């Protein structure tokens, strides 16, 4: 009897797609046999395509869609993968357990919450809810009101969260990450306990609990571990290099309890989230944890030109750890990466702006240009230059510089010197003082406004008499700071005015009221550098106000995203790409970051961050560094040395650019109020 095999229409269609869409190495990864598989996907190598085709392949070969877990790190990535999967296999795509670790953990815990002491209708705390509960837990533990330098709620929440995610004792995390808080260790332990107790009593979980309780379920209830092992016949993890200790434990436990089918996809060279608890060994030692695991390498780069790929390949080769890489480009030849040294940080900002404008003249949309930096404050001088030249931009590394609270505070100091009757700025500064609320601030301003000279009236005994006892000392310091600020001739020397604020009591206010105080003070130092370009305080303030940036107004409202230059830290840029990428401030102690170099493995992680930055470029890569950086209020100009990430590369891999300054030309002449450097 003749046997006729009835072909599945899905299998036949996917076979055609495989032939058309996959190269040989991608095809091998997609059709990998059951078991433990590690797919090392270099930049621009089609990682998302391989993952979605792998899931489609499994379904086409008989694996039920509902028995596949596809774990990603962002909801956006999960949605994109499901969308692509739908185009390949249709409605079955919705049956795949696709989502972030927290999303999948939430689904599983709803079924089993009672085993863990929760009700199935438990609520999930958002970040603000978490802080509110942390504050209550701090009250429970007696950590509130114990001194000005006691840890703030956000810092406590971060330490508790980090401890949970790296699966290390809180005392160890405090000792390594915030040793200055070690004196509060017993109270911090008590806060962590009170916080956990309050969550249970309220039937609430925070984001970390969705992983921690999932792990607890697997450890304490073997029948649940076996049930999940039976449910998930195949598990796929995207961005394996970004997993932390808890994440990798739960998925590997589930895989081991079931069929032992786990496919991990990632790039060890893009492991840059150690500060969030990511464990580099999760991808590096995958084969040690799973003997016999098969490794597939995707080394054809479809994003970048051969010149950029050669540059990136040579850079990451300087890391002693990691999988060997033989990256090649599928693109036609392009330009060599360009390395430009500038006289100082001001010239660097001017160079970047000119390069952006030249790109636009050549027909490249602004949205295809990105400036990627290691430290957010490295963008401040550039933001001022972009504003001055009218180049629209968006910031992907937090608030735009002039929207941040500490910048608004310092601007308020400057504004009341220019216009002593400006109520909003007086109120903003008065509310920074302990014991001064909106009503008291309003009463003080009304008293000042009745006189002819508010800046002199603020020093009077009558104003001091309006204050409660605990506010008199800080208010006297505030008055002294205003006196010092006025003595700097702020109208003609705005940089000195900002320096006066920094030398007064405001830095202590930053440390008491704001998170990440040292980063904010570094921002203010850069603000002083920006102000040094102006010979008029009034014009500096007017430039910022007219740019629409100071109070959170969107100066680029209505602009298309394609017409905004992107400014971003490297960490925020991971997974994205632009036609032209510019990387500034490539100097020692900047990029690489000085503090990171003091940690074990710090230099290699910093080089991986550099690698992520340069692999975002499709067609053009520009790298810059200034020979000097003025320090503004902190002291004299600092002379720099170029980053080791440039010095270690053979000069045949890049082209050097030389700046020629046009004779007798004042680059600031078209901007009234800006001084010549």
Please name the residue that has the structure tokens 């303030």.
Answer: 541
- Asked if residue 124 lies in contact with residue 205, where contact means CB atoms within 8 angstroms, the answer is yes
- Asked if residue 455 lies in contact with residue 417, where contact means CB atoms within 8 angstroms, the answer is yes
Candidate list 100, 270, 383, 533, residue with the active-site label: 270
| Cα 423 to Cα 410: distance, rounded to the nearest angstrom | 15
- Asked if residue 659 lies in contact with residue 343, where contact means CB atoms within 8 angstroms, the answer is yes
Active-site residue, 247 included: no
Candidate list 26, 47, 241, 481, residue with the active-site label: 47
Angle at 232 between CA 229 and CA 235, to 5 degrees: 110
Candidate list 208, 239, 252, 620, residue with the active-site label: 239
| Cα 231 to Cα 457: distance, rounded to the nearest angstrom | 75
Active-site residue, 239 included: yes
User: Cβ-count burial of 165 within 10 angstroms (0-12 exposed, 13-18 middle, 19+ buried)?
Assistant: buried
Candidate list 225, 331, 616, 674, residue with the active-site label: 616
| Alpha-helical segments (H) within 22-126 | 24-30, 47-60, 75-89, 101-112
Candidate list 48, 253, 354, 572, residue with the active-site label: 48
Active-site residue, 378 included: no
| Cα 319 to Cα 604: distance, rounded to the nearest angstrom | 6
Active-site residue, 47 included: yes
Residue 251: partners with Cβ closer than 8 Å, 6 or more residues away: 69, 71, 235, 237, 262
| Cα 344 to Cα 342: distance, rounded to the nearest angstrom | 6
Q: Which uninterrupted H or E stretch holds 266?
A: strand 262-266
| Cα 31 to Cα 652: distance, rounded to the nearest angstrom | 39
User: Cβ-count burial of 223 within 10 angstroms (0-12 exposed, 13-18 middle, 19+ buried)?
Assistant: exposed
DSSP character string of 279-311 = -THHHHTHHHHSTT-EEEEE-EESSS-HHHHHH
To 10 degrees, the CA torsion angle through 67, 72, 75, 77?
A: -110
- What secondary structure, in 3-state letters, does 563-620 show? HCEEEEEHHHHCCCCEEEEEECCCECECCCEHHHHCCCCHHHHHHHHHHHHHCCEEEE
Candidate list 208, 209, 238, 249, residue with the active-site label: 238
How big, in percent rounded to 5, are the helix, strand and coil portions of the chain? 55, 10, 30
The residues that are catalytic are 47-48, 238-239, 270, 616
């Amino acid at each position: 009897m003749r046997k006729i095999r009835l072909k599945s229409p899905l299998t036949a269609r996917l076979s055609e797609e495989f032939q058309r869409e996959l190269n040989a190495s991608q095809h091998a990864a997609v059709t990998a046999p059951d078991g433990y598989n590690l797919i090392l996907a270099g930049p621009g190598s089609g990682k998302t395509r391989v993952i979605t085709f792998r899931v489609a392949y499994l379904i086409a070969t008989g694996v039920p869609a509902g028995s596949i877990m596809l774990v990603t790190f962002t909801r956006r990535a999960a949605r994109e993968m499901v969308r692509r999967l739908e185009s390949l296999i249709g409605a079955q795509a919705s049956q795949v357990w696709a989502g972030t670790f927290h999303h999948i953990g939430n689904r599983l815990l709803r079924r089993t919450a009672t085993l863990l002491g929760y009700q199935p209708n438990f609520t999930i705390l958002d970040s603000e809810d978490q802080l509110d509960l942390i504050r209550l837990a701090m009250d429970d533990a007696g950590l509130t009101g114990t001194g000005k330098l006691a840890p703030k709620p956000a810092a406590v929440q971060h330490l508790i969260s980090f401890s949970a995610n790296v699966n290390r004792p809180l005392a160890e995390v405090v000792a390594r990450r915030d040793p200055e808080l070690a004196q509060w260790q017993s109270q911090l332990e008590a806060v962590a306990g009170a916080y956990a107790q309050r969550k249970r009593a309220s039937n609430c979980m925070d984001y970390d609990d969705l992983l921690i309780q999932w792990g607890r379920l697997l450890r304490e209830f073997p029948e649940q571990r076996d049930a999940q092992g039976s449910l998930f016949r195949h598990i796929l993890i995207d961005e394996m290099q970004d997993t932390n200790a808890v994440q990798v434990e739960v998925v590997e436990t589930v895989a081991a309890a079931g069929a032992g089918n786990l496919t991990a996809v990632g790039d060890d060279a893009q492991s840059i989230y150690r500060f969030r608890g990511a464990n580099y060994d999760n991808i590096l030692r995958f084969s040690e944890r799973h003997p016999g695991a098969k490794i597939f390498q995707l080394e054809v780069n479809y994003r970048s030109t051969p010149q950029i790929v050669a540059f990136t390949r040579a850079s990451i080769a300087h890391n002693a750890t990691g999988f060997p890489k033989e990256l090649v480009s599928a693109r036609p030849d392009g330009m060599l990466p360009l390395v430009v040294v500038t006289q100082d940080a001001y010239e660097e900002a001017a160079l970047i702006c000119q390069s952006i404008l030249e790109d636009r003249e050549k027909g490249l949309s602004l949205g295809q240009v990105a400036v990627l930096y290691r430290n957010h404050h490295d963008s401040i001088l550039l933001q001022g230059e972009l504003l001055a030249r009218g180049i629209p931009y968006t910031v992907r590394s937090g608030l735009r510089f002039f929207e941040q609270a500490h910048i608004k505070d310092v601007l308020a100091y400057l504004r009341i010197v220019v216009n002593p009757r400006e109520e909003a700025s007086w109120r903003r500064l008065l509310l920074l003082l302990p014991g001064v609320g909106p009503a008291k601030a309003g009463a003080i301003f009304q008293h000042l406004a009745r006189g002819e000279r508010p800046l002199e009236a603020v020093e009077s005994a009558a104003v001091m008499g309006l204050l409660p006892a605990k506010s008199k000392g800080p208010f006297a310091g505030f008055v002294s700071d205003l006196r010092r600020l006025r003595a700097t001739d702020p109208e003609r020397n705005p940089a000195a005015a900002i320096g006066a604020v920094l030398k007064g009591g405001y830095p202590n206010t930053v440390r008491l009221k704001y998170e990440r105080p040292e980063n904010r003070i570094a921002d203010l130092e850069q603000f002083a550098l920006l102000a040094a370009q102006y010979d008029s305080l009034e014009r500096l303030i007017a430039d910022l106000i007219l740019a629409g940036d100071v109070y959170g107004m969107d100066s680029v409202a209505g602009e298309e995203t394609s017409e905004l230059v992107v400014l971003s830290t490297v960490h925020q840029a991971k997974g994205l790409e632009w036609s032209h990428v510019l990387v500034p401030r490539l100097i020692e102690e900047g990029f690489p970051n000085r503090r990171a170099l003091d940690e074990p493995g710090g230099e290699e992680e910093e080089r991986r961050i550099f690698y992520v930055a340069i692999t975002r470029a499709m067609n053009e890569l520009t790298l810059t560094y200034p020979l000097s950086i003025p320090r503004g209020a902190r002291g004299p100009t600092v002379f720099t040395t170029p980053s080791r990430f440039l010095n270690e590369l053979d000069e045949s891999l890049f082209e050097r650019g030389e700046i020629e300054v046009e004779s007798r030309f004042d680059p600031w002449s078209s901007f009234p109020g800006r001084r010549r450097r």
